[in-house]
Structure 1
Amino acid sequence: ISEDIKMILASSKHISTVIVEIKHGNKDILSRLTTIESHLSDSDGRLAAAEAQITSLTSTVAVLHERLNDQENRACRNNLRILGFTEGVEQGNPTCFWEKTLPALLKQPEGTVLSIEWAHRSLAPRPAPGQRPRPFIIKLLRFSIKKLLLKSAQDLGSLEWERHKILFFPDLSKALQDRRRLLLPEKNIKYGLFYPAILKITWKGETSSFTTAEEAEKFVSALSHSCRGGGEEP
């Protein structure tokens, strides 16, 4: 019996030792879990701060992009983009060529001073024979002359030079062209596009202005419903 008691006591002592070791192990695990939770909490805080910073930077980049696009278009405010002239027609001196050609092409009064600052082809590789020629970019010193030339081209309608159709456009950035394209209405309603990208719709003598395609769509949709109700077609 004494031997059995000794064995039981020895086993109990061993079990107690194992329990103590388990407790120490659990304590170590708990400490590690606490450390991990602390690190996770710190990581969540840093992630939230990073996301907030990314949102702020994205907003800043969008604002800067808008300002850059605005500055680009303001820098091109006096520019004309002219399409249709064959390659090499300027014979190495585009400014001189346009000083002579523009007044005659647009039927300007004799002695009209254009004050061209510079003129060149668009910065693209020279096209192969038979391909569409690159447009000309012309910078005028005065905005009033640019408006005069655009209006003259519009009033004359179809323009030709040596059996080539000639087109005149304001020189706008691609981003602004895309915005204007989005604002073009599908309905047969009088409209106008103004710098930088404002759509004005006139209906029954009242003019409304829109800066986004969504606003214009809502207006046209509401107008369509009201016209159907009144038996009119916009």
Structure 2
Amino acid sequence: MSKTKSKQDKDPSSSSASVTLAELSSLLAEHRNAISADFKSSFEALTTTLDGLNSTVAGHGERIGSLEDNSNEVDRRLQHLENACSTLQQDNVLLKTKLADLEGRSRRQNIRIIGLPESLEGDKPRPVIVRLHRFQVKDLLIREARRRGELFYKEHKIRLYEDYSSDVLKERAEYKSSMAELYKRGYRPALLYPAKLRITLPNGEKTWIRSVLEADKFLQNLNK
């Protein structure tokens, strides 16, 4: 035993090396534990962040889905409104057409007299509307007035016109240039109610024109 003890006393480096390895092992273990704890903490924080992101994305998805549903509902309502508006526009056109026709028919047998004084004391003349029972009588009076040329009532010059509505007058005014050209060519055009053109040909035959386009086409054929 004395020999062994003396040998260890002679080699002190072996004891020092053993202590250093143990310390290194302990340090490595501590580092591993610290790194493991750091990784665990980091993963937990990352998991929490990802959970928050997933919750946010899910919330955004719900909002986007709600917006899509609202957008589809708005599109549906807008389509319904467009269809209703289109129907109302068509009804409005029909009603305006019927109203114009009723107004025109109600005023068809009227005569507008221009030049009659309001009283015999010489007040300023004003137009007077005379309503007859039949439009045929009105037509006879208008033709007779045109045949006579000038008409007087108690020294007041008067003129007789058809009491047409504004819509009828607008339609009839569109034939003005066509009728002027027909008169120039020796034809006898007559504009009948509401806006139908009757043309008397040189041979006495009559032809009917129902639109301004037809009148223009008739003139173009004459040029050919």
Shift of 1:208: 4.0
What whole-Å deviation, never above 9, does each CA across 1:29-83 have from its counterpart, x for those lacking one?
A: 1121112112111211211121121111111111111111111121122211111
Specify the alignment match of 1:197 in structure 2.
Answer: 195
CA deviations over 1:61-115 (Å, ceiling 9, x no partner): 1111111111112112221111122332499xxxxxxxxxxxxxxxxxxxxxxxx
TM-score of the superposed pair, with normalisation by structure 1: 0.68
Which of 159, 162, 166 is equivalent to 1:167? 159
Secondary structure of the residue aligned to 2:177 is coil
Unaligned ranges ≥5, structure 1:
92-128
Q: Which runs of 5+ in 2 are unaligned?
A: 1-30, 183-187
Separation of aligned partners in 1, 2:62 and 2:47: 22
CA distance in 2, matches of 1:191, 1:40: 61
After TM superposition, give the deviation of residue 207 of structure 1 in Å: 2.0
Residue in 1 that maps onto 2:73: 42
Distance in 2 of aligned mates of 1:89 and 1:9: 116
SS of the equivalent of 1:134 reads coil
1:188 to 163, 181, 188: 181
Task: Deviation per CA, 1:141-166: give whole Å up to 9, x if none.
Answer: 23332222111101112334455442
CA–CA separation in structure 2 for the residues paired with 1:206 and 1:143 = 22
Give the corresponding residue for 1:14: 45
Q: Looking at both structures, which has the greater relative contact order when contacts are Cα pairs under 8 Å and sequence separation is at least 6?
A: 1
Aligned-residue Cα RMSD (Å) equals 2.6
* Contact kept in structure 1, 2:196 and 2:208, CA below 8 Å: no
- Change beyond 3 A, Cα 1:206–1:30: farther
Deviation at 1:14, TM superposition (A): 1.0
Which AA in structure 2 matches 1:194? L
Name the % identity: 28
What is aligned with 2:36? 5
The verdict on how the C-alpha distance between 1:161 and 1:15 changes in structure 2, with shifts beyond 3 A counting, is same
Match in the other structure for 1:81: 112
When structure 1 is superposed on structure 2, of 62-71 and 161-170 the one drifting more is: 161-170
From the superposition, tell whether residues 191 and 35 of structure 1 become closer, same or farther in structure 2 (CA, over 3 Å): farther
Structure number with bigger Rg: 2
Cα separation, 2, equivalents of 1:13 and 1:201: 99
8 Å contact from structure 2 (residues 104, 165) kept in 1: yes
Comparing 190-199 with 5-14, greater Cα deviation is found at 190-199
